[in-house]
Amino acid sequence: MIHRLDPQTRSKIAAGEVATRPASVVVELVENALDAGAGTVEIEVGGDGTDRIRVADDGHGMSESDAELAVEHHTTSKLTEADDIETVETLGFRGEALPSIAAVSRLELTTNTGGPRGTRVVVEDDETTVSPAGRAKGTTVEVTDLFADRPARKKALASPKAEFARISAVVTRYALTRPDVRFVLRHDGHETLTTPGTGRFADVMLAVYGRDAASHASTFDSVREVKAGGETATVEIDGLLCYPDVTRSRRDHVHVSVNGRALAEPRIRRAVVEGYGTLLPDGREPVGVVRVNLPPEWVDHNVHPAKDEVGFRDADAVAEAVESSVRDALSTADLRRSGELAM
């Protein structure tokens, strides 16, 4: 059930600007699909993304009244009271993504909870129209004419190629973080990424980085305790690490997530690199997926409007846990193994 947040809760939320560029729109729509329990997320992008972004999922969908509320400000099904912000386990919670995107585009949402009839909601020029629509269970959000009446924002965008590269990077990060979900990304009609949704890290690695990387990698899984202010929390760290013979020159191939949220999180990325230590050739960067899970009250997802970084109760302790997990994983992995999927 979607409802409106009270003013006190709203004031605690750092919504900032949600729709700053096409990639930020894609992040919000993909996170909504994952929050809805999707098994498949299909993303279609036209041009630099301002022409068209379409995200379709097979998640739980929305009732007609929820679909109508979803595009209004401060409406969410994920948070009820201000204190819930501390323990929120969904990716969304601000109730601001859909209305913010709709404010700078034409937004069409088609959804069905699995009943005989679905709902279509169109927001265009501040007008919302609701009508019945045929659709299987799930939700499709189509955003067209993004920033059509925001010339300054449109001008600030990079080339279509560069904007699509950003979109591709965020979709790839989520695909690697969620091997259990099937992702399809299309750009101007061409499929650029498909992951199988098998739940196996090696399968997504194969889809994203190819056979060489997927066959020179090991999954790992560790549990560490971290302490802060007299309290102890259990941190679970897992993922897949490519062996040090698979490297890149750029830094953005360590894909980090914290409590399911894929984000840049430079401190965790650095901790992963430290974990490789001297195994890495000079000037080379590792390739891997590292998922960090800790009790929600130890993480603050609300510090960064674009949700790129999180606040940790003790960031150094978490970084140390990540570093030692990676170091241990690499020291036990059979680094000479090659030629087959190391799963």
Q: Which is nearer to Mg ion, 97 or 317 (CB)?
A: 97
Q: Which of 24, 58, 93, 269 binds ligand ADP (CB under 6 A)?
A: 93
Asked whether position 88 contacts ligand ADP by CB under 6 A, the answer is no
- Least distance (Å) between residue 2 CB and ligand ADP: 5
CB of 26 to ligand ADP, least distance (A): 13
State which residue, 76 or 219, has the beta carbon closest to ligand ADP: 76
Cβ atoms of 119 and 111 closer than 8 Å: yes
Least distance in angstroms from the C-beta of 38 to ligand ADP: 7
Distance from C-alpha of 141 to C-alpha of 280, rounded to nearest angstrom:
43
Distance, CA of 276 to CA of 315 (rounded, Å): 19
Asked if 247 contacts 283 with a C-beta cutoff of 8 angstroms, the reply is: no
Convert residues 10-49 into a mask of x (bound to ligand ADP by CB under 6 A) and - (unbound): ------------------x---xx--x-------------
76 makes contact with ligand ADP (CB under 6 A): yes
Residue 1 CA, chain-centre distance (Å), reads 23
Taking CA atoms, 259 is separated from 237, 238, 290, 310, in Å, by 10, 11, 11, 10
Among 95, 160, 244, 286, binds ligand ADP (CB under 6 A): 95
Question: Quick check: 2 binds ligand ADP (CB under 6 A)?
Answer: yes
Rounded-to-integer distance, Cα 26 and Cα 170, Å: 8
Closest CA to 228 of 129, 158, 297, 275: 297
Residues 100-159 that bind ligand ADP (CB under 6 A): 139
CB of residue 264 to ligand ADP, shortest distance in Å: 20
* 62 versus 254: smaller Cβ distance to Mg ion: 62
CB 105 within 8 A of CB 97: no
Smallest gap from residue 295 Cβ to ligand ADP (A): 21
> How far is C-alpha 171 from the geometric centre of its chain's CA atoms?
7
Closest CA to 9 of 87, 84, 101: 84
Q: From the CB of 310, what's the least distance to ligand ADP, in Å?
A: 16
Residue count, binding to ligand ADP (CB under 6 A): 23
In the complex, least distance from residue 65 CB atom to ligand ADP, rounded to whole angstroms: 11
Nearer to ligand ADP, 68 or 285 (CB): 68
Residue number of the CB closest to ligand ADP reads 92
Beta bridge partners of 76: 3
Which lies closer to ligand ADP via its Cβ, residue 92 or residue 239?
A: 92
Binds ligand ADP (CB under 6 A): choice among 21, 52, 94, 166:
94
Q: Using alpha carbons, list the distances in angstroms from residue 192 to 18, 39, 184, 230.
A: 25, 19, 8, 48
* Residues in contact with ligand ADP, shown as a per-residue x/- string from 50 to 69 under the rule CB under 6 A: -------x-xxxx-------
Residue listed under structure tokens 């901790």: 271
Q: How far is the CB of 220 from Mg ion (least distance, A)?
A: 31
- Provide the pairing of β-strand 231-242 with 190-194: unpaired
**Whole-Å CA distances, 10 to 7, 75, 96, 302, 324:** 5, 10, 10, 12, 39
Q: Which residues bind ligand ADP (CB under 6 A)?
A: 2, 28, 32-33, 36, 57, 59-62, 70, 75-78, 92-98, 139
